[in-house]
A and B are shown apart, each in its own frame.
Chain A
Amino acid sequence: MTMAETAAGTSTPLLELRQVSCRFGARPDLAARIAIALGAAKPFPIIHALDEVDLTIRKGEVLGLVGESGCGKSTLGRIAAGILPPSVGQVFWKGEDRATLRGSRQRDADLEAQMIFQNPMAALNPRMTVEKLVAEAPSIHGLIKGSTSSYVDDYLTKAGFDPAMKKRLPHQFSGGQRARVNIARALAVQPDFLVCDESVAALDVSIQAQILNLFMDLREQLDLTYLFVSHDLGVVEHISDRVAIMYLGRVIEEAPVAEIFSRPNHPYTQQLLAEVPRIRPGKRRFAAMKGELPSPLNPPKGCHFHPRCPHAHDRCRIEVPQKREIAPGHVSACHLNDKQAV
C-alpha cells in the first residue's frame, strides 16, 4: 500500500482483539421464540466457538496459536484476518476499530491482512490458471502498475514457484507447489499480516521444511507479521516468537516461545507439551491425557478444562479463572496461580 502509515504501529499493536466472542447457531424465528418462551420448545443449540478472547499481535512478530481441533483456533484466525466479524467484542487494526472503518480505509485494512488456508487445493479455483489466480485480486484492486505478467512473475518467484509454469492449472501441481501458489496469491495484494491456518499440515516432512524456510525468508524480505495456527507443536516451536494456547474457545496461556516450552504454567499446557513429538531414540511409554475436548455446544462451567484437569478443585467448577501475569510476558488463566500467591 502507498498509504502513509509507516510511522504508525511503533507502539500500537498491529492487531488487537478485545473480549472477542464468536457464536454460531441458527436464529430462532418469531414462532420458535414464542415456543421457547412458553417452554414448549428447547432453545436452539449455539456453538460457543470463542469466549471473550483477548489477543495482541505486535508488528513483526510470529504468534503461534495452538490447540486441539474444535477449540476455535481457526475461527480466531478468521477473525484476525478480517474474514469473519466477531459476535461480540472489538478488533483493532493498527489502533482503529475494524467495525468502524469505511470506504478505502476498510478496503486497505482488508487487503493488509491475508489468510493462507489449510487445504491448498480447496483454496484454488481448479479452472483458473496459476497466472490468473495470482493476478485476480491485485488487478481488481488496482495494485498492478505496469504489466500484469511481470507482476505475477515477481510474486511467484518470491514464493519459490517457477513462473514458467504459470499457464498451468492447479491439479497439475504437487501439494508443495500448490502451497507456494497460495502463498504467492496472498502476497500479491501486498499484505503486512498473514494468517497461516495449518498451512503446512498437509505437506510431507521434506516439503514442509521448504515451506517453513520460505515463510521465514519472506518475513525478513517483506517485513511480515504472522499468526501461525497449527496443531503441530514442533512446527510452532520452530517458527514462533510467542505462543498462545487455546482450549475450548478461550486463550488460556500466552508466553514467549522459550518460556512456554520450558516453564508451562497451565495444567493443560503442561500436558499438551508433554506430547510434543520429538525424535528421541529409545522406547518410551506414551503418557496419555485423559478424556477428550468437551462439546462447544455445552461447555463445562467454570474453567473449561476442569473435567480433565488433575488439579481441579471446587473453585474451578464454578468460577472462570482470570488471566494473570506470572512472569514478564507470561500470562496464564488458572486458579492454582492464586493459591500459590497466597
Chain B
Amino acid sequence: MTEDPLLKIRDLSVAFRTSLGAAEAVSGVDLDLADGEVLGLVGESGSGKSVAMKAIMGLLPPRAETTGAVHFRGRDLLQASEREMRRLRGGRIAMVFQDPMMTLNPVLRIGTQMTEALHAHERMSSAAARERARDALGLVGIPSPEERLDAYPHQFSGGMRQRVAIAIALLHRPDLIIADEPTTALDVTIQAQIISEFQKLTEDQGTAVIWITHDLAIVSGLADRIAVMYGGRIVETGNIEDVLVAPKHPYTHGLIRSVPSQNSRGHRLAQIPGVTPSLARMPEGCAFRTRCERATEACTARPGRFGDVLTYHRCFHPHEEALV
C-alpha cells in the first residue's frame, strides 16, 4: 500500500436524533482503501453499512450527525462544501444502487439521462455526449446500444436496467464506485452476468470498489479485502482469504457457518441465536455480546481495535483456530 490511500476513514460515526434519543447507526468506523482495490462490506440489514457509505457521499439527511474524518485523495469530504461534493459525486466517486428502477427517471429516455450526467461534469457537444453514452452502453454488454439510447427504463429488463445504472456510474471513469447491493434483486444467472461485467470494467479502468452486500459468497470471489459490520461497527476486517478461512470475531464465525452449502446437507445449520438488536437498544460494550457464546464480564466494556487499520477485529475473546 502506498502511504496515502485513495480513501481513508477514521472514527466515522453517524447518529440520528430520534424521539427515543440519539441512535448511533454507525460508530467508530476505521477503513482504508487503495486505488483499484475491491472491498466487500458485509452485514445484515440494519448493520449500518449503507448509512456509512451514504455518509461518505454526503447523502444523509441533515438530522444525521456525522463525526470523524473521511479523506478522499487527501481531502476531507466531511468538511467539503456542497459545491465541491457535487463535483465529486458522479465524477470521482460514483454509486450504484440496489434497485435500478429507483435510480433511473421513468419518464426520460436512457440517452437523455446519460448525456445529462455527462454535461453535469464536462463541457461537450451533444453529439459527443451521445457518442460517449452509446459507447458506455456497449461496454456493459447492451446489444444495439444506438437504438437503446432512445428507449425508456421500463422497456428494459431488471438485469439490463442495472447494466444501464453501471454504465452511468462508469461514464466519468471514477476512482471509486460504491455499489450498494447491486445484484440482490436479480436472478443468479443475471447476477453472474452483472458481476462479470463489473469485474472486467473496473479492472480495465483500475477503479476501486466498495461492494456492499449481505452475501458472503459473492464477496468471497470478488473482493480483495472484507469488512464485516454489526450494530454500526466494523467488527472485523482483513484480507478476504484470511477472514473467510480463519474468522476471529464470533459474529463473522457464526455468519460463515450459517450459510447453507453442500457440506451442511442433512445437518442442522449452525445458527446465531437471537435477533439483531435495534439501534435504540444496542447493548453497552460489545454490540454482539447478548448473542455471543464467548461473552464474559469483560465484554461490557467497549472492545477497541485489535490490529492495524487494514487488519483488525473488535473482540476480547477472538477465535484463534481456522474454520474446518
A interacts with B: yes
Inter-subunit contact A271/B255 (CB<8 Å): no
The CA of A282 and the CA of B221, in the complex, are separated in Å by 6
Interface residue A32 (Cβ < 8 Å from any Cβ of B) = no
A281→B224 CA distance, assembly (Å): 10
Contact A237 B189 (CB under 8 A): no
Tell whether B113 is near chain A: CB-to-CB under 8 Å.
no
Partner of A68, one of B188, B216, B268: B188
Q: A237 with B271: in contact, given A204-B214, A275-B188 (CB under 8 Å)?
A: no
In the complex formed, the residue of A with least CB distance to B190 is: A292
Q: Which residue, A206, A213, A275, A280, has most C-beta atoms of chain B within 10 A?
A: A206
- Say yes or no: is B281 at the interface (Cβ < 8 Å to chain A): no
Cβ–Cβ contact B258 & A206, under 8 A: yes
Say if the beta carbon of A145 comes within 8 Å of chain B. Answer: no
Contact A275 B44 (CB under 8 A): no
State how many angstroms separate the Cβ of B276 from the closest Cβ of chain A: 7
Contact flags (1/0) for B205-224 with A, using CB distance below 8 Å?
A: 00000000011111011111
Decide: A204 and B271 in contact? CB cutoff 8 A.
no
Q: Is the CB of B271 within 8 A of A209?
A: yes
Asked if A30 is at the interface of the complex by the 8 Å CB criterion, the answer is no
Residue interface mask B222-265, A partner, CB < 8 A = 1: 11100000000000000011001100000000111011111011
Assess the B193–A238 pair: CB atoms within 8 A.
Answer: no
Task: Decide if A218 is an interface residue (CB 8 Å cutoff).
Answer: no
Query: In the bound complex, what is the Cα–Cα distance between A205 and B269 (angstroms)?
Result: 11
Q: Are B275 and A176 in contact (CB under 8 A)?
A: yes
Tally inter-chain residue pairs, CB-CB below 8 A.
131
Contact A271 B261 (CB under 8 A): no
Q: Which of B196, B220, B265 contacts A238 (CB 8 A)?
A: B265
Asked whether, in the complex, the Cβ of A205 is within 8 Å of the Cβ of B222, the reply is: no
- Verify if A312 is at the interface (C-beta below 8 Å from B): no
Check B196–A205 contact: CB distance below 8 A.
no
Question: Are B258 and A279 closer than 8 Å at their CB atoms?
Answer: no
Say yes or no: B255 contacts A283, CB within 8 Å: no
Task: Give the distance in Å from the alpha carbon of A198 to the alpha carbon of B192 in the complex.
Answer: 20
Which residues in window 276-330 of A have CB below 8 A to B?
A: 276-289, 292-293
Q: A206-B255, A238-B269 are in contact. Are A231 and B260 (CB under 8 A)?
A: no
Task: List the B side residues contacting A293 at CB < 8 Å.
Answer: 187
Q: Complex formed: what's the CA distance from A148 to B177 in Å?
A: 56
Rounded to whole Å, the gap between the CB of A157 and the closest CB of chain B is 17
* A279–B260 CB distance below 8 A: no
A207 touches B (CB below 8 Å): yes
- Judge whether A206 and B188 touch: CB under 8 Å: no
A321 to chain B, nearest CB (A): 20
B residues near A, CB below 8 A?
Answer: 44-45, 157, 159-160, 187-193, 195-197, 199, 214-218, 220-224, 240-241, 244-245, 254-256, 258-262, 264-265, 268-272, 275-276
- Residue positions of A touching B, CB distance < 8 A: 68-69, 174-177, 204-210, 212-213, 216, 231-235, 237-239, 257-258, 261, 271-272, 275-289, 292-293
Query: 13 A–B contact pairs at CB < 8 A?
Result: A174-B276, A205-B44, A206-B44, A209-B272, A238-B264, A278-B261, A279-B256, A279-B261, A282-B241, A283-B222, A284-B221, A285-B199, A288-B193
Besides A206-B272, A209-B270, 17 other CB < 8 A contacts? A175-B45, A205-B214, A205-B215, A205-B259, A206-B255, A206-B276, A213-B271, A234-B261, A258-B265, A271-B189, A272-B189, A275-B191, A277-B218, A279-B217, A281-B220, A284-B221, A286-B192
- Sorted nearest first, the 7 A-B pairs with minimum C-beta distance are A277-B217, A238-B260, A209-B258, A281-B241, A288-B193, A204-B44, A286-B196
